[in-house]
Amino acid sequence: MARILAYTTPAAGHLFPLVPGLLALQRRGHHVHLRVGERLLSVARDAGLDASAADPAIDADEVKDYTAAKDIDKLRKGLHDMLARGPLEKADLERAIAEREPDLIITDTNAHGAAVAAQASGRAWAVSLPSLVPLPGKGIPPYGLGMAPMGGPLGALRDSVLWKLIERQYAKAMLPRLNALRASAGLPALRSPIDHVVAPDRLLVSTGEPLEYSRTDLPENVRMVGPQLWDPPAGDAPAWLDEPGDPWVLVTTSTEYQADEQLARVAVEALRDEPVRVLLTLADAYDSAGVPPARNVRVERFVPHAPVLERAAAVVSHSGMGIVQKAMAAGVPIAAVPFGRDQPEVARRVVEAGAGARLRVKDLTPERLRTTVREALAMRPGAEAAGTRLREAGGPERFADAAEELVEARVAAAA
């Protein structure tokens, strides 16, 4: 059996989708070890994984893209902060490799320093991507802008021009620091950020159709492994979820703080007089949200989403990939209000899948959000159909299959 070393960033939205696949590999008899930040270490261990703490300085080096005002500045700030962790991640993974002597290394897509260490090690290496594929392709709109697909020659021209502009922006924001890291590891410089995305032996993409567009020209190393849905064990559902009353609408903000409290505040005003009960889960925004009181609103720091989604009529979210995939897989329609990061793209895919409605954050008012929620509530059949397709796109066993491909290839090469 193989020794597998996984390395993830200190973000719940990146740890949680990694857990199901690692557990599947563990069930198959592989020796799996996970390196994760101290804040999430107990979560990983409680899930049943052998885990150790990463360098605590990585946890302390927060991503603060939300402090920037413009979208382009948020992109630059986010990449700057993630790459600032790079030397720490590189050194930390190098230590873990020396300790564990893995046959296969799996790094999180945002752990750029760990990616450099993994590639420089010469060992089999995969990247876990718990989001959409950020690669151009035939008929694929430019990533991150939330644009609808456009066919014909005009669409092809639009996509070609905008993909080049996006590639240039990412190159300016990430390549100087990334190439410095690569040079320190004896790796050649990259000319494009796309080269970084396609560098691993396998890119394990934790989603599938209909959230991911149908593609005919993906690179050979890409594996679409389907949604990896997991929440920490939580016991029985809260009793109040089953109390009689109006249907529940879940309103949730990012598990990794990004200053999206505005969504919670506006949602209260939008839904206070609607025939629904509102559950707000605010995670790190709980203490700063300043949510106004309303008779039909319940505010919690955290409630496991699985039992809520079983009972929910709709979800209002910041369009994070985690909650969107969980809601879609449960057949629950989504009112998507993207705040940044990959969220404009995720929100667009919700619309294209027929699983919900989108509202731009610059248009976020109680009146417009109320209308968007009503639109979403009426889209239950489309959400259920999308959920069926997403559930069929894969899961933990497909993740494990793709990882084992690399292990088997390594064994065959050594024979």
Which residues partner with 129 through β-bridges? 205
pLDDT digits (tens, 9 = 90+) for 334-383: 999 998 889 999 999 999 999 999 999 999 999 999 999 999 999 999 99
Can you give the pLDDT at residue 414? 63
Residue 135 lies in a domain: yes
Q: C-alpha angle 168/254/62, rounded to 5°?
A: 65
Amino acid at 80: H
Residue 232 lies in a domain: no
Domain that holds residue 262: 239-391
> If you average pLDDT over residues 111-116, what whole number do you get?
96
Distance CA 137, CA 326 (A): 26
Can you give the pLDDT at residue 317? 95
Q: Give helix 71-84 / helix 86-100 axis angle, nearest 10°.
A: 40
Which residues partner with 204 through β-bridges? 128, 223
Cα torsion angle, 175, 176, 177, 181, sign = positive
Can you give the pLDDT at residue 202? 97
Which residues partner with 299 through β-bridges? 280
In a shared domain, residues 221 and 273: no
In a shared domain, residues 212 and 329: no
Distance CA 104, CA 118 (A): 9
In a shared domain, residues 217 and 304: no
Report if pTM > 0.75. Answer: yes
In a shared domain, residues 162 and 60: yes
Residue 108 lies in a domain: yes
Number of domains in the chain: 2
Of 19-23, 40-44, 64-68, 308-312, the one with minimum mean pLDDT is: 64-68
In a shared domain, residues 38 and 67: yes
Distance CA 152, CA 141 (A): 12
Can you give the pLDDT at residue 415? 56
Amino acid at 56: P
In a shared domain, residues 167 and 193: yes
pLDDT digits (tens, 9 = 90+) for 141-172: 999 899 999 999 999 999 999 999 999 999 99
In a shared domain, residues 150 and 265: no
Residue 178 sits in a domain whose CATH number is 3.40.50.2000
| 316 and 251 Cβ atoms separated by less than 8 Å | yes
Residue 137 has pLDDT above 60, yes or no: yes
Phi, psi dihedrals of residue 55, rounded to the nearest 5°: -55, 120
Rounded mean pLDDT of the chain?
92
Alpha carbon 328 to its chain centroid, in Å, reads 14
pLDDT digits (tens, 9 = 90+) for 267-289: 999 999 999 999 999 876 656 56
